[in-house]
A and B are shown apart, each in its own frame.
Chain A
Amino acid sequence: MLSKRIIPCLDVRDGRLTKGIRFKGNIDIGDPVEAAREYYEQGADEIVFYDITASSDGRDIMIDVVRRVAETIFIPFSVGGGIRTVDDMRRVIMAGAEKISINSEAVKNPPLIFEGAKVFGSQCVVLGMDVKKVEPNVHVPSGYEIVIHGGRVYTGIDALWWAKEAENLGAGEICLNSIDADGTQEGYELELTPLISTNVRIPVIASGGGGTPEHIGDVLTRGNADAALIASMVHYRYYTITEIKTYLHAHGVKTRMAW
């Protein structure tokens, strides 16, 4: 039986974490490699890096970060942000990432999903979806709309349709981020997540809103998610990944407990 995955997400700009991460002794760590290593030790099942670098120089720094992470942690990790072409994907994968994640670029250029899957295999291509709840309408019958550019631009695309379309194009996994829940730490979106997860045949990672181990337990059971993305709750050291997993295990959610 597969374990549910717990996946910390690290935002990186110009090769540094955008928010310091507090670890033992309350020291702020700005190095994404150190942070990844710490989460690996705590039992993270996978790690996501999101590169918010604007300049092209910064992108080379990110490739170096990917290479250093690949030399020190031996679990899968993915990289998203700024990936626009198959060549961009290749650089990140050759540097050692297991998967690449595409979001706004996939909306603007859907064949990118297909091309990436053809060259690297579906298991390498994660579709990131930012979703906002809206009044159901002709274009968005599910009442969940795809937004891009960090939630600023509405696309008129229905989230459920887009999830199925991306699966058909060859995406191997969906990282489903609720913009409404994101940053609230009040729990994951428990209507959107099962709606998507039960209507596609590829794994769905729930993202946005996780604040407590209980929230994670909810989205992995009632929410039908295959994995949960976490950020603030571990970055600010409210919980360690080990504590989260211990909670899940005690509440009957199958999670990897030996590492």
Chain B
Amino acid sequence: MIGIVDYKAGNLTSVARALSYLHEPCVITDDPRVLMQASHIIFPGVGAAGEAMANLKKTQLDKWLREWVQQGKPVMGICLGTQVIFEYSEENDTQCLGIVPGKVKRFPQNLRQGNEQLKIPHMGWNHVAFRKDHPVFRGLPEGAEFYFVHSYYPFPDDDTWVIGLTSYGNPFCSVVARGNLIAMQFHPEKSGRPGLQILTNFCRWGGRDAE
């Protein structure tokens, strides 16, 4: 059973729909006792960091998430879920979970690519350049792209956490991974077949980065 963490951050049903399509049993809940029984945890989310953290504290899910990552349970962060696992987010000046050392920054206002003024949010399909092989990202087609929608991006202190980079004006960290934790800025549940492949891989993954 895959546990989807409900912290009132946007519409969490799209991840559940994708898992149902893949015939992976899942549950959306904010109850730590139910999530404790799950073999894998997905931590999704759309919305703002400040409100997300407030909800996580209220339900004590902040403590439980740290605990599960420590225990070695496979945990996947998506979009806002990825951002709040860092120590700090510039969005609403928010202290976050601190599972990954580093912070979340806003794209600069004057972001350019050549002569073109880039728009914010970074919305649409973009590539991820993977720096190393990871079980969750196996079997993707050559040239696969993923659906992004965000104005803030992860910036880990330790560069060895970064396993995927995406270019938007400058390269930014779009995938972080260590041990049983994998987190991405894009939405696998909205990234067509390559995204579904990532979700399938995650559901089969035992939580070690070299398998």
- Chain A interface (Cβ within 8 Å of chain B)? 1-3, 5, 40, 45, 70-72, 74-76, 93-94, 96, 98, 120-123, 172-173, 198, 201-203, 226-227, 256-259
Query: B159: which A residues are within 8 A, CB to CB?
Result: none
A259 nearest in chain B by CB position: B192
Given contact pairs A70-B17, A201-B119, A5 touches B193 in the complex (Cβ within 8 A): no
Query: B122: which A residues are within 8 A, CB to CB?
Result: 2
Query: A172: which B residues are within 8 A, CB to CB?
Result: 121, 123
Q: Would you mind naming 28 contact pairs between A and B with Cβ atoms under 8 Å apart?
A: A1-B126, A1-B127, A1-B168, A2-B122, A2-B123, A2-B126, A3-B145, A5-B125, A45-B124, A71-B17, A71-B20, A72-B21, A74-B189, A74-B196, A75-B190, A94-B13, A96-B17, A120-B10, A121-B10, A121-B46, A121-B48, A123-B46, A123-B121, A123-B123, A203-B123, A226-B119, A258-B143, A258-B145
Asked if B26 is at the interface of the complex by the 8 Å CB criterion, the answer is: no
Distance of A123 Cα from B9 Cα, bound (Å):
14
Asked if B139 is at the interface of the complex by the 8 Å CB criterion, the answer is: no
Task: Beyond the given A72-B21, A202-B119, please list 7 additional residue pairs across the A-B interface where CB-CB is below 8 A.
Answer: A45-B124, A74-B192, A74-B196, A76-B190, A94-B13, A258-B145, A259-B193
Asked if B144 is at the interface of the complex by the 8 Å CB criterion, the answer is: yes
Does the CB pair B124–A3 fall under 8 Å?
yes
Does the CB pair B124–A258 fall under 8 Å?
no
Of B11, B113, B142, chain A has the most CB atoms within 10 Å of the CB of: B11
Q: Give min CB distance, A93 to chain B, whole Å.
A: 6
- Chain B interface (Cβ within 8 Å of chain A)? 10-11, 13-14, 17-18, 20-21, 46-48, 113, 117, 119-127, 141-145, 147, 149, 167-168, 189-196
Secondary structure at chain B's binding surface: helix, strand, loop or mixed? Answer: mixed
Query: A259: which B residues are within 8 A, CB to CB?
Result: 141, 192-194
Q: Give min CB distance, B24 to chain A, whole Å.
A: 14
Query: A93: which B residues are within 8 A, CB to CB?
Result: 11
Distance of A256 Cα from B17 Cα, bound (Å):
24
The answer, among B46, B119, B194, for a CB contact under 8 Å with A203, is B119
A227 nearest in chain B by CB position: B124
Given contact pairs A94-B13, A201-B120, A3 touches B192 in the complex (Cβ within 8 A): no
B146 nearest in chain A by CB position: A256
Does the CB pair B149–A70 fall under 8 Å?
no
Does the CB pair B125–A256 fall under 8 Å?
yes
Does the CB pair B126–A3 fall under 8 Å?
yes
Q: Give min CB distance, A182 to chain B, whole Å.
A: 24
Query: A40: which B residues are within 8 A, CB to CB?
Result: 192
Q: Give min CB distance, B200 to chain A, whole Å.
A: 12
